[in-house]
Structure formats: C-alpha cells, structure tokens
Chain A
C-alpha cells in the first residue's frame, strides 16, 4: 500500500497489492490447480514431483527424507483429487525438432547430439529412443 500512496499512478493496480498475499498460506500447487490452465498446472505438478524425487535421493541423518515423504504423500493426495494420471505426467514429451537427440526431463528443452547436460537446469539430459 505504501507504493500506492507514494506513487499515485500505482493506485490503478491497487487490487493486485491488496490481494497479493491472500493465498500465501497455500502451496503453489494448490493455487495453480485453481488458477492455471490445465496444461500449465500439469507442468508445474510435473516439475514439483521431479524436485521431490531429487530431494528424496539425498541422505541426511536428521530426518530429511521424512519431510519429503510427507510432502510427496500430500502432493499425491492433490493429484488424486484433480484426477490427473501420474503416468501421464511422467511421459516424455513429443519430439518437436527432428534433429533433437535428447531433452531435459525438467524443462523439456531439446538438444542435438553431443550435449549431456541441460544448460538451464544443470541436470543430465534424457536421450530420445
């Protein structure tokens, strides 16, 4: 609200300022489920499941995996309510470029042969079959 008072032209966006934090207590996935188009929501869900899978592989004696197991269960609960098939989410993307040899499993960027890692996500590429 301070920016609206200091910069009167910002009053045009006052609605954004007022409601910006109303869903702050919710998981981005739950907000995405309601607000995003289905395809965008599926992309968000797919990425989140990927992050959870990556986090679960790390070992820490203090119960690191306990949190990620609970988080995964919670996301799976959301998945069940939205009637999205998990196997559908895990499917590799369709090849968009004929010359592409591999793609990033996270951002789906395609790479020609000779590349092993995604330059944006820093993870190993998945070769096309």
Chain B
C-alpha cells in the first residue's frame, strides 16, 4: 500500500492545486480570505485562491441588468464581458410591456425565449427574476422608487456584518474537520509514505480514517448548509 500511495501522492497534490485555481470573469468579484483571515479581491482572470483549509471565498457580480422605469437593459454579447466600461451599445433595451415570457432556469433568467441574464448564482437569479417580475407588474410611476430601494438594499452592508459575526458558530466543527483532513493528507500521509521509519504506519487504518473524515464532512456540510440557510435566510 505504501508503494501505491507513493505513486498517488503527487497526483493528490496536483488535484489539490487544481482545486485551488479559479477563473474570475470580468465584472465578477471574488473575495478570498488568506491565512490571517483578511480578504483580498480578485477582479478577473485566472488566480490561485488561498490554499489554506480555512480560506473562504465569496463571489459577487455587478448588476447584470440595468433597471429603468420603462424597461431593462441586458448585455447583448460577449463584447460587454470584454469591456471594463459600461457602454450603451453593448446592451439591448427591453420595455416591460414587451416581456412576454419569463422563466428562471437554474442560474439563468430567460426573457422572451431569446434573451438571457446570467447572474453569479442561483440565489441571485431567483432574486433578480422576482424583482423584474415585480417591476413589470408595478405602475410606471412606482418603479423608480422600487429600483432605488433595490439598489440601496444591495448596498446594505449591515446585513453582511451581522452574517460575518454569526458565521463561525455553525461551521466550527466542519472547519475543524477540514483542517484535520488537510493535516492527514498533506502532513501525515507524506511522512508515512516517504519517511524511513514508516514500517509502523498502518495504511489500511489510515485510509479508513480519511474516508470516515471525508464522509463526515459531506454529511456535515449538507446539514450545516441547511441549518445556516434556514437561520440566516437573507434576501432569499
């Protein structure tokens, strides 16, 4: 088993490095925390997120839809993704009275069968989809105030501050398990594989332990996410 792991270990490292690499599209914002817990912002391009098991990433995107009282502006082509500036020629205007069909399809919001809005996540797709529907059903003179309220709500950083304060408690055990798994794979395993006195290292038990930790992480991440979402259901 030692021989198998000596062959496998470099591939495990490569897989981990691949997992640490992320591609950030233009107009996306990836907030990544480093070892000390401070965050840095990655704007666009290929990047290595923090390799620490404690790192956290948050993805956000500038509003993909520009709302007005009479309709919405949607980015028309890849051109918008290449430009750092917002140019009106890269957008198409759809008046509210021309919106016939409207579907939320996973991460995408589909309008009139042909136009798509691509928000950063399913959560935001639902949020933006329901807001467009609300604007469409509103009286024209009410829309401006609603857009203002929508934009102000997106800038309400007090909610994020509250979230950050409550963040550590529900994920404490999960975080500890992630650190333990990291230590097992990248500290204990190479010692067992490459150190000379590894005759005392029991590989079957070690593998079983890693599998157990992995399964516990899967189960706990599911339960933690359900609990956390239920407890802190912000703007769902």
Q: Which residues of A contact B (CB under 8 A)?
A: 1, 3-5, 7-37, 40, 44, 51, 54-55, 58-60, 62-64, 66-68, 70-71, 73-75, 77-78, 81, 106, 121-122
Q: Once the chains bind, are B56 and A54 in contact (CB under 8 Å)? A: no
Q: Which residues of B contact A (CB under 8 A)?
A: 12, 15-16, 19-20, 29, 31, 33, 38-41, 49, 53-63, 66-71, 73, 84-88, 91, 93, 95, 119-124, 127, 144, 147-148, 151-152, 154-157, 159-161, 163-164, 167, 171, 174-175, 178, 181-182, 185, 214, 217-218, 221, 224-225, 228, 232, 234-235
- On whether A67 and B68 interact (CB within 8 A), knowing A28-B60, A35-B58, the answer reads yes
Q: A24-B121, A78-B155 are in contact. List 16 more A-B contacts (CB 8 A).
A: A4-B217, A13-B20, A21-B59, A22-B123, A25-B124, A26-B159, A27-B63, A27-B151, A36-B41, A54-B85, A62-B68, A64-B66, A64-B68, A68-B86, A71-B63, A73-B148
Residues in chain B near residue A77, CB distance under 8 A = 152, 155
Q: Nearest chain-A residue to B235 (Cβ)?
A: A25
User: How far apart are the CA atoms of A63 and B88 in the complex, in Å?
Assistant: 11
Taking the nearest CB of chain B, how far is it from the CB of A85, in angstroms?
Answer: 18
Determine the main DSSP class of A at the interface with B: helix
User: How far apart are the CA atoms of A24 and B229 in the complex, in Å?
Assistant: 14
Residues in chain A near residue B87, CB distance under 8 A = 55, 58
Taking the nearest CB of chain B, how far is it from the CB of A79, in angstroms?
Answer: 10
Residues in chain B near residue A74, CB distance under 8 A = 148, 151-152, 154-155
